[in-house]
Amino acid sequence: MNKTIFITGTNSGFGKATVERFAKAGWKVAATVRDINKNSELFNDLENVSLYELDVTNFNQVDEVAQSVIKKFGKIDVVVNNAGYCLMGPTETSTMEQIKAQYETNVFGVFAVTKAFIPHFRENKDGMFINLASASAQFNYPFIAAYGSSKWAVRGITESLGIELAPFNIEVKAVYPGAHATKIFTKLDDGATLFQSIFQHYKQYYQTFLSAQQELPNVTDPSNIADEIYKAATNRKGKLHIISGGDAKMQSLMKKILPERAFQKMQIRSILQPLSKMEISFTKWLMGSNTSKLDVDVKKGND
């Protein structure tokens, strides 16, 4: 195997699992982290992995790292836009600064990395972008309006560029993960506790929504997404939009077959009452057997 992949946001979760998946398959991997000093030993056991420091909101750094990677490896075959985080909480208690920061990483970061590699792909008349969206870009959840809508934007970027870049033999795909055992709930920007007097109006609904995480401690392992990304990268004729995870597939199906109001009512129920025992059992079944513990560190407005 003499192919190279560039992956952003690789210190944990989907990014880390994807680096390991491709490295073990013989690919050369250029992996990025925001702080290389905190991750100096990351992937030391994988000789075909090179680690770079990159903040995707630093657009000059994005261009510099892209050129450095291209110079070192000569040809990049696949770019995975994975870096991102989640702003969670009632929209009313989230500041505009938080919402702007959410878009700067999850949307503008994707644009910056993509733009940095388009000329390289265009000149080679070959290349593929794989964008990590979210199941929330198929059906959004309450209390993550900024995060979910940022992932809808990633979906839009994927669809548009898939057409725009097709004449240059450049593929653009997106993966839409459901609940997986990443550290996303330990890297939250929390919009729930900034305005306590306002938050009290939402507190019971927010806590009911979050209670599902306590009832479902084990969710699908990130290696599932790494496998999906590998399949997408090695099969140019495969699906362009890949919904992954039993829960994501089920919700997507329900949204297609139910009337709009019925689907919305089902979602509203998730903030009015906790999951029933039957719903918990069914969701556990949807997660499959390849599961691991979900790390959660979510503030619930009690501080």
**Active-site annotation, residues:** 147
Query: CA dist 276 to 180, 213, 220, 291, Å?
Result: 21, 13, 20, 21
**82's tokens:** 């994975």
Burial of 253 (0-12, 13-18, 19+ CB in 10 A): exposed
- Which amino acid, one-letter code, is at 191? G
Which residue, among 106, 88, 93, has the nearest Cα to 186 in the 3D structure? 88
Helix (H) or strand (E) holding 122: helix 109-124
Pairing of strands 291-293, 218-220: antiparallel
Per the DSSP assignment, residues forming a β-bridge with 220 are 180, 291
Q: How far apart are CA 249 and CA 178, in angstroms?
A: 8
Q: How far is CA 127 from CA 14, 72, 159, 186, 225, in A?
A: 21, 17, 16, 33, 20
Q: Which residues contact 214 (CB under 8 A, 6 or more apart)?
A: 296
Check the CA dihedral 196-268-155-291 and report its sign.
positive
Q: Which of 303, 154, 167, 161 is nearest to 242 (CA)?
A: 154
Are 150 and 134 contacting, i.e. CB atoms less than 8 angstroms apart? no
